[in-house]
Structure 1
Amino acid sequence: MFSLKQLTVFDAIARLGSVSEAADELAMTQPAASMSLQQLESALGTELFVRVRKRLVLSERGKQLQPMARSLLVEARGIMTSMNSETHNEQIRVGASPTVGGYLLNEICTEFMRKHPQVRLSISVLPAFDVIARVDEMALDVGLIEFITVRTTLEMTRWREEALVVFCSPEHPLAASKRPLRTADLRGQRWCLQHRFSDTRRQFTLAMMERIESMEIVLESDSLSILQQAVMFNVGIGCLPRPCIAQALASGHLVELRIKDLALGIPITIVTRNAVRKTSQHADFVKTVLAH
């Protein structure tokens, strides 16, 4: 028979890919963590990990066990919370793409923490594909990204849709245009855009390439503040979801270019793992996101 301690060690190693890192997180010695894993594998009669380049990766049996183990641990924590008068500290690991993490989560996190002061939020801002992978691996509990993906192991919940805005410096010649602009007016412009793996960038460039022959991209960055600063100093023009530049537009540091024949929006999606029991705090965090 296995124990909750053994499942806790297994869950930590599955998330972190390392016995030593799992031991540090759980305040155990490395030999004790290794022994717990060995005992669990012996009880189940199977290897749960394979070693790949000095990291431990789940075996096929390990992948089957992970959501069941996580659900059992959530149930156990629920029992401890209901039976114990002392406040139980819950951790929720959230991953967000730069657009969401930098511009949409501030108010949400503040509101949630006021309602749940005992919960520890861990927020990681990562490329969207990394967020998806880590939610799938259960290294993150919730992901917030700018597009919809299809994986049988993941649950996707549509949160909102944001308009993509083409913008420039107030000193750019297009900012003074008195007539409605069309995509043809953007020929020959220099662009400051997110990297190619960004879905915002992908959708925008695909739409543009249907209308003009080429685009000169002079700056690519994961940092939205770097992109905004470059456009402010007239290095080129940019395109980002509206929340990212709303403050700069309102202050006049950036100017929106309304393109008559180009109207794009990008979905913002909540990603969670299927077949894993969620804590009440986890569910309430998702509700708080959906309420905004």
Structure 2
Amino acid sequence: MIDLTQLRSFVAVEQAGSFTLAAERLGLGQSTVSQHIQRLETALGRRLLARDTHRVVLTGDGEALLGHARALLSIEGQVQALFSDSSLRGSIRLGVSEDFVTSQLPAVLEDFVRSHPSVDLELTVALSGVLYEMQDNGEIDLVLAKRRLGDVLGRLIYREPLVWLARDPEHVLSSGLLPLIAFPPPSVTRAIALEALGRHQVPWRIVCTCGSLSGLTAAALAGMGVLVQPRSMAPAGLKEIAPEKLPPLEDVEFVLVPRKGADQALVSALSEDILRKVRGLRLGDARG
């Protein structure tokens, strides 16, 4: 019989990429988490985890188990919520900036959705400026997005540098006008990039505008130009351009902004879960 506690440790290790971080998130000792994994592997007769250069990864059998493990833990959460008077209920509308989605959002939301099955979570993905406008119109309850340094809007999650990226930096820098790949206005990263180029009198031209990070990434991977992104969210296949080659960019801050009048219990629960998960993921990246 499969032990749900062992499955919970297995999923936590997969999310964190580390036994140490998984143990911290679960409030257990590292040796306890290791024992859970060992017993689960023994019960199934398969090796589920392996270590690569930087982190713990799933084996083929581990990947096959992961979806079923999540489903079983989701059912457990639903059963607990069914018989719990204190479980959260209702709906909450979350807005997340485009660049955050592909890098960290799945791990951030997975546990919340599983732990609160009676909560309907409606997700909107857009540019930070668009999300703030939607929130002002009462369409979003909680925004997870970027703000510029000096802004006081929202609760700070973390601060991160922006970097210039390109598939072939030497090639794109050799042209007379810097070819720029950017989100359309209103975009925090676009505004910062254009201001930096203007201050240093670097001539530029927009070669691609797209509201989707996947579209911008495709253009950058095709060698069309330079893309600006937070360093930890740099798409694979792009190289960071040396700082002396282009003007320095100011940092950005990722924040949580609740809407006045939103359900405070739901906003608080989701906010705390996001804070815990994002900071845990960043700690894991720093240790890696």
TM-score by length of 2: 0.58
Please give the alpha-carbon distance, in whole angstroms, between the structure 2 residues aligned to 1:163 and 1:150.
Answer: 15
Partner of 2:170: 173
Contact 1:224 1:244 in 2 (8 A): no
Partner of 2:180: 191
Who wins on radius of gyration, i.e. which is larger?
A: 1
Cα RMSD for the two superposed structures: 3.2
Instruction: Give the residue type in structure 1 aligned to 2:274.
Output: V
Partner of 1:117: 117
Partner of 2:107: 107
Contact 2:155 2:256 in 1 (8 A): yes
Q: Do the aligned partners of residues 140 and 186 (structure 1) sit closer, same or farther apart at CA in structure 2, a change above 3 Å counting?
A: same
Partner of 1:204: 193
Q: CA deviation at 1:199?
A: 0.9
2:278 equivalent to 1:283: no
Partner of 1:267: 253
Partner of 2:227: 238
Please give the alpha-carbon distance, in whole angstroms, between the structure 1 residues aligned to 2:196 and 2:180.
Answer: 15
Q: CA deviation at 1:107?
A: 1.1
Q: CA deviation at 1:102?
A: 3.5
Deviations 1:194-243 (A, max 9, x none): 11310111011101111124212111111111111111111112212224
Between Structure 1 and Structure 2, how many residues are aligned?
194
Partner of 1:164: 162
Which of 199, 215, 219 is matched with 1:226 structurally? 215
Summarize the alignment of residues 1-292 of structure 1 with structure 2, pairs less than 5 Å apart.
85=85, 89-147=89-147, 156-170=154-168, 172-174=169-171, 188-246=177-235, 248=236, 253-260=237-244, 262-274=248-260, 276=261, 278-291=263-276, 292=278
Contact 1:187 1:212 in 2 (8 A): no
Please give the alpha-carbon distance, in whole angstroms, between the structure 2 residues aligned to 1:110 and 1:271.
Answer: 20
Please give the alpha-carbon distance, in whole angstroms, between the structure 1 residues aligned to 2:166 and 2:148.
Answer: 29
Show structure 1 runs of 5+ residues with no match: 1-80, 176-183
Partner of 2:58: none
Instruction: Give the residue type in structure 2 aligned to 1:118.
Output: S
Question: SS of the counterpart of 1:117?
Answer: coil
Q: CA deviation at 1:186?
A: 8.0
TM-score by length of 1: 0.58
Q: Following TM superposition, where does structure 1 have runs of at least 4 consecutive aligned residues deviating by more than 4 angstroms?
A: 84-88, 148-151, 184-187
Q: Do the aligned partners of residues 243 and 100 (structure 1) sit closer, same or farther apart at CA in structure 2, a change above 3 Å counting?
A: same
Question: SS of the counterpart of 1:234?
Answer: coil
Deviations 1:263-289 (A, max 9, x none): 431111211123x36342321111112
